[in-house]
Amino acid sequence: MSTRYVLIVSHTGREDSLLAGTEVCAQLSAAGIKPVMTLTERDAYVEFSRSQVAPHEAISNIAVLDKEVDGKELEVVMVLGGDGTILKAAEVVREWATPLLGINLGHVGFLAESERDGMSDAVARVVEHDYLVKERLALDVRVIVSGHEEFRTWALNEATIEKSARERMLEVVVEIDERPLSSFGCDGIVMATPTGSTAYSFSAGGPVVWPSVEALLLVPLSAHALFARPLVINPNSKLAVEVMQRSTGSGVLWCDGRRTWDLPPGARVEVRKSDLPVRLARFRQGPFTDRLVRKFSLPVDGWRGPASDANGA
C-alpha cells in the first residue's frame, strides 16, 4: 500500500495550535499516515517539542513539503487555526488544489469544518476518507500599469483596493464587462466571492451570498457618490477598477489580506472568476443557513418550523 500524506498547516505562534498539531501528527502517524509540513513549520514544531518536558516522538515523523514529499502527493490539508490560517494554507497548496479541512482554534472560523473539541473525530474521518469535497469560486486578479501587466495573483475571499493614506480620498472609476459604471471618491472597493461575502465584504455592508450561488460581488467603501450600492454580478463578468489620474492619493491592492501591490494613479485592477477553484473538505451536507446561525450565534428563539399537515404528520 502506498504511503498517504496529509499536510498540517497551523499558527505556529500560538502554543495551543502547536499542541493541537502535535496531537494530530500523533494520531495520523498511529494510523499509518505521514504528516507533512513546510520546512518553516516543521522547524517550529521541532523547537517546540524540545522545549517540553519530553520531546514528542510524533514530531520526528513529520516529512517536509517540496523536499521529501511532492505537493501532488498530498491527500488533504488539515488546518489548525482560524480563517486567516485557512487562507494561508490555501496559498500553500494553490497549484495542486488540495482539499482544505479547517479545525477552528480561532474566533468565528467561518471556513472551518470542525472545532477544537472535535479534532480527534476530524482526524478519524480523514483516516477513513469520510468527507466530501466542495469547490469554491476563486478570483483571478491582474494589475495593469501603462498597458503592461505588473502583477498577477488570486483570491479566495476578496481583492480589495484601498487608499494608501488615511487623509487622502481615492478617486476611482468602476467598469463592468468593459463598460464604465460610475466614478467616485472613496476609501476603497471590495471585489469578493460568495465565500468572501461573510468576510470583509460583510463588514462593509455587502450581502451574504450562499456558496452554492456563483456570483461576483462589488462593494464600495465609504463612497462619496449617489450611486455606490453593493452589486451582485454574473460570475463570468470581468470587473475592473481604475485609480484615476486625478486621484490625489495612491492605492494599494490586498488579496485575502495576504498578497499586496501598490497602485499609483492610472493603475488598473482587473478581476474575473478563476479557472482554478479552491476545494474545501466537508463532513456534512447541512444547509448554509445552519452554518450562519452557528458561526454568528444568530438568535432563533421562537422558531417552530414548518406547520404540520392536517393529519398531524
- Please give the positions annotated as active site: 83
2 DSSP assignment:
P
CB proximity list for 94: less than 8 A, separation 6 or greater: 154, 276
Distance CA 239, CA 260 (A): 18
Instruction: Tell which residue, 157, 73, 84, 121, has the closest CA to residue 284.
Output: 121
Helices in the chain by DSSP H: which ranges?
15-30, 39-51, 83-92, 119-127, 200-203, 288-296
* CB of 34 closer than 8 Å to CB of 69: yes
Pairing of strands 188-192, 158-163: antiparallel
Distance CA 221, CA 194 (A): 18
Phi and psi at residue 200, in whole multiples of 5°? -60, -45
* CB of 232 closer than 8 Å to CB of 219: no
Distance CA 31, CA 127 (A): 7
* CB of 211 closer than 8 Å to CB of 202: no
Instruction: Tell which residue, 154, 136, 155, 106, has the closest CA to residue 282.
Output: 136
The strand pairing partners of 224, in sequence order, are: 185
Give the three cell numbers for residue 251: 492605492
